[in-house]
Amino acid sequence: MGYGLAAIGPGVGVGIIFGNGTQALARQPEAAGLIRANQILGFAFCEALALIGLVMPFVY
């Protein structure tokens, strides 16, 4: 149950990242490389939060 609650935030964050990235690509397709790099970086940070949420119940 704890991990389920901890996964809500990163799940919402990943959705926001890729939703806004898709909008940005539609508006400025010439900046695809920079937008994609920022999306991957944001995705990695959100997944790191999810992994921290998975590990913390075992620490306590």
pTM for the structure as a whole:
0.75
Q: How far apart are CA 17 and CA 6, in angstroms?
A: 18
pLDDT at 9 over 90: no
Average pLDDT, the chain: 88
Are 6 and 55 in contact by the 8 Å Cβ rule? The answer is no
Range of the structural domain that residue 22 is part of: 2-59
Arithmetic mean of pLDDT, 13-35: 93
Domain count for the chain, please give it: 1
Range of lowest pLDDT (5-14, 25-34, 44-53) = 5-14
CATH number, domain of 13, equals: 1.20.20.10
Question: Could you tell me the pLDDT band of residue 43, with boundaries at 50, 70 and 90?
Answer: very high
